Amino acid sequence: MADELVVTKKVRHFGRDRVELDGDSLAVVTPAPMMGWDVRRHRQAVIRFDGRMWRITRKTTEPNKFTRYELAPWDPVLGELPGPEIEYSPDSIALHYSVSTIVQRRGRATLFLNLIRPLTGFLPARTKDRLEILYGIDPVASTMGSIALQGLATLAALVLGSISQMVRVFGFNAGIPMGLVLILGAVAGVDAAVRWSQVFAEVRPPSGFCEWLFRRSRPS
């Protein structure tokens, strides 16, 4: 009996997908989960494969992280309202993997950009606008993060200036070019104040670092 089952079971491969067809039982094992292939009690998705219509009965994750879908024939005689109809074919599989690869790459890029989001706030407004479109990085949040960094830099410049002045009182040289430190702190503070005002004025996207010096106002 076991040998007979092995003979009647057909296994086909579409790219990295493995399709197991055994009479009225169909199983699809894939490393990339399928969009819309969900187990539902009502309005189940109808999968069109090999000239037949199927419905998803079970979805599990295998130890190798592959997703296994088990399907049974969809019978319109039962009177169930079908959900979306999804084509499962070599062309649709190739498109699925192409989209999945793009999504994974964007996901990694989005994770990296979120980790350095305060630094992206220093970028020009156009660049921040494009980052929002491509990766969903909020330009206002990233600008606020960069303003916070500038506030810390300005505070550090003031602290260093105070320490240097105190050291000089006792006749010691602090060894710090305080003129340069105070200039950088002043530039950071002024830029932070201007861009803070842009955020509250709902300028979207806000300017990048010192971009407001060269950015013309948009006509209303």
Residue 46 β-bridge partners: 55, 85
Tell me whether strands 46-49 and 10-14 are parallel, antiparallel or unpaired: unpaired
Claim to verify: residue 127 and residue 201 sit in the same structural domain: yes
pLDDT tens digits in sequence order for the chain, 220 residues long: 334 444 457 888 888 888 998 888 899 999 888 888 888 777 788 888 888 888 888 999 888 889 999 998 887 766 666 778 888 888 888 777 777 777 777 777 777 877 888 899 999 999 998 888 877 888 999 999 999 999 998 898 888 878 777 777 676 666 667 777 788 888 999 999 999 999 998 888 899 999 988 865 544 4
Claim to verify: residue 70 and residue 129 sit in the same structural domain: no
Q: Given this model, what pLDDT does residue 183 score?
A: 86
In a domain, 91, yes or no: no
Tell me whether strands 46-49 and 85-87 are parallel, antiparallel or unpaired: parallel
CA-based nearest residue to 193, from 139, 140, 154: 154
Split into its structural domains, the chain has a count of 2
In a domain, 107, yes or no: no
Cα 82 to the chain's mean position, in Å? 32
In a domain, 93, yes or no: no
Claim to verify: residue 155 and residue 209 sit in the same structural domain: yes
Which of 86, 107, 130 marks a domain boundary? Answer: 86
Q: Given this model, what pLDDT does residue 3 score?
A: 44
In a domain, 220, yes or no: no
Claim to verify: residue 26 and residue 69 sit in the same structural domain: yes
Handedness of CA 106, 129, 208, 191 (dihedral sign): negative
**36 Cβ contact list (under 8 Å, min separation 6):** 45, 84, 86
In a domain, 155, yes or no: yes
Number of helical H runs and strand E runs in the chain: 6, 7
Which of 44, 68, 86 marks a domain boundary? Answer: 86
| CA–CA dist 69, 54 (Å, integer) | 11
In the sheet that 10-14 helps form, which strands lie side by side, from edge to edge? 10-14, 17-22, 25-30, 67-73, 52-61, 46-49, 85-87
Q: Given this model, what pLDDT does residue 55 score?
A: 87
Claim to verify: residue 194 and residue 128 sit in the same structural domain: yes
Claim to verify: residue 185 and residue 123 sit in the same structural domain: yes
Q: Given this model, what pLDDT does residue 80 score?
A: 67
**118 Cβ contact list (under 8 Å, min separation 6):** 142, 145, 146, 148, 149
In a domain, 95, yes or no: no
Q: Given this model, what pLDDT does residue 175 score?
A: 67
Q: Given this model, what pLDDT does residue 79 score?
A: 61
Q: Domain range holding 49?
A: 2-86
| CA–CA dist 119, 187 (Å, integer) | 17
In a domain, 148, yes or no: yes
In a domain, 110, yes or no: no
Claim to verify: residue 204 and residue 143 sit in the same structural domain: yes
Q: Given this model, what pLDDT does residue 5 score?
A: 40
CA-based nearest residue to 80, from 88, 68, 89, 72: 72
Which of 65, 86, 107 marks a domain boundary? Answer: 86
Q: Given this model, what pLDDT does residue 122 score?
A: 92
How far separated are the first and last CA of the chain, in Å rounded? Answer: 79
Claim to verify: residue 82 and residue 123 sit in the same structural domain: no
